[in-house]
Amino acid sequence: MGSPDSGYASSNEGGAPANSPPHKPDLQPSSDPIETTYLRFLASNAEAGSIIGKGGTTISDFQSRSNARIQLSRNYEYFPGTSDRVIMVSGTVEEVLEAVELILTKLVNEFYAEDGEEAEPRSKVRLIVPNSSCGGLIGKGGSMIRSFIEESGANIKISAQDNTYIGLNDRLVTIIGTLPQLGQAISLILQKLSDDGYYVQSIGPTFPYAAPYNVPNYGPPGVGGKFQNNRFQNNKEDMSNPVTLGVADEHIGLVVGRGGRNIMEISQISGARIKISERGDFIPGTYDRKVTITGSQRAIRVAEAMIMHKVSSASAPPPDVTPDQLPVENLSIN
């Protein structure tokens, strides 16, 4: 969850909501047997801590009140391409919606409500949905998602399929609106997903991705070879020793980021230490700056992949997408 201009995060401490409770949409009765469904969404570490609560009191309370199961990925398991953890809520449709309402009410009131502010705050939720289920949410010519927008009043967009990350078969559905709008949009989306037999059967672990940061290990243009102990390695080296990457001078800003933001994020997520050589200090025979990574084997591997991904994004062409994979962005009803 997050403000409209930030990534979705999640939070911990509970308490009575400061604002009026969101409208809970009426669920259509069904004669079908009760089935377990689920919903996954992103949350920052801070928000995840808030959902858990001191000694697990908040999450226990939410599970008891909703009868749903709430699970979180571990604090180093981030959804690929983000620094957000994964929250999974499972149960019947009604139980999942009740638990999500409790979570969002707490987060909005704790993180986004301003004292004395009359207007309801707008925030953002990013749902994780399998690629195969996104077509049903979009509908023919975008008709289904337009109906969700019209009925809920929320802004909804579905990301294009991302082929950058190996093993990533999910897309993000971003919802922006007030608390009642978020609740209504999520209800419509979850009920649609729960009618999809593949979606219901695809329930699995909270964090189904292969690594803490699931990025392919490749060397795109602008990234030089690996150097270890000042000697180029063509075979698989011992990753527990420091590894130096060569990054083209004109691309070093992508690694550092504005105010050092990117390099700090890479270091925080991977757990590795990263040092970049001074301007003019190049790997011999190249115009590549030296990026030295130290840490455990796993930390080095994750940091290396993240750096390569940052650089490759500058020159790689956008992936081909089919019409049903195109993002539905900022749709509005006149």
Q: What is the mean pLDDT of residues 104-129?
A: 81
Distance in angstroms (rounded) separating the CA atoms of residues 170 and 80: 10
- Judged on CB neighbours under 10 Å (0-12, 13-18, 19+), 68 is buried
Give phi and psi for 130, each to the nearest 5.
Answer: -60, 145
Question: Residue 295 above 80 pLDDT?
Answer: yes
168 has pLDDT over 50: yes
Percent of the chain with pLDDT over 70: 70
Residue 315 has what pLDDT? 52
pLDDT of residue 11: 34
Q: Which residues of 135-287 form beta strands (DSSP E)?
A: 155-158, 170-177, 223-228, 231-232, 243-248, 273-276
Which tokens belong to 237?
């080296």
Model confidence pLDDT, tens digit, residues 83-95 = 889 999 999 999 9
Identity of the amino acid at 269: I
pLDDT at 53: 92
- Residue with the bigger pLDDT between 143 and 24: it is 143
Residue 127, pLDDT above cutoff 90: yes
Q: Per the structure block, which two tokens stand in for 178?
A: 């007030």
DSSP state for residue 178 in the 8-state scheme: -
pLDDT at residue 119, rounded to an integer: 67
Residue-wise pLDDT for 229-242, tens only, equals: 333 333 333 345 78
pTM: 0.57
Q: Is 136 helix (H, G, I), strand (E, B) or coil?
A: helix
Q: Which of 259, 249, 237 is CA-nearest to residue 304?
A: 237
Long-range residue pairs from 296-300, CB within 8 A, at least 24 positions apart, any chain: 296/240, 296/271, 296/272, 297/238, 297/239, 297/240, 298/212, 298/271, 299/270, 299/271, 299/272, 300/239, 300/240, 300/242, 300/243, 300/270, 300/272
Confidence bin at 206 (pLDDT 50/70/90): confident
Mean pLDDT, to the nearest integer, of 100-112? 90
C-alpha count within 13 angstroms, C-beta hemisphere, residue 110: 23
Tell me the mean pLDDT in the region 320-331: 45
Which has more pLDDT, 186 or 258? Answer: 186
Q: What is the pLDDT of residue 215?
A: 37
Exposed / middle / buried, residue 142 (Cβ in 10 Å: 0-12, 13-18, 19+): middle
Instruction: Scan for tokens 């502010």, then name that residue.
Output: 117
Q: Residue 176: which pLDDT band, with cuts at 50, 70 and 90?
A: very high
Average pLDDT over residues 5-27: 40
Reported confidence tier of residue 257, pLDDT bands at 50, 70, 90: confident
Q: Kindly state the average pLDDT of the residues 159-185.
A: 88
Helical pair 179-194 and 143-152, crossing angle rounded to 10 deg: 140
pLDDT at 264 over 60: yes
pLDDT over 80 (residue 196): yes
Q: Which residues pair with 175 in a beta bridge?
A: 125, 156
- Please state whether beta strands 288-294 and 243-248 pair in parallel, antiparallel, or not at all (unpaired): antiparallel
For residue 42, the SS3 value is strand
Q: How far is CA 70 from the centre of its chain?
A: 17
* Mean pLDDT (the chain, rounded): 77
Q: Which of 18, 11, 112, 131 is nearest to 62 (CA)?
A: 11
Residues facing residue 245 across a β-bridge: 226, 291
DSSP conformation class of 244? E
pLDDT of residue 114: 63
Predicted local distance difference test score (pLDDT) of residue 88: 96
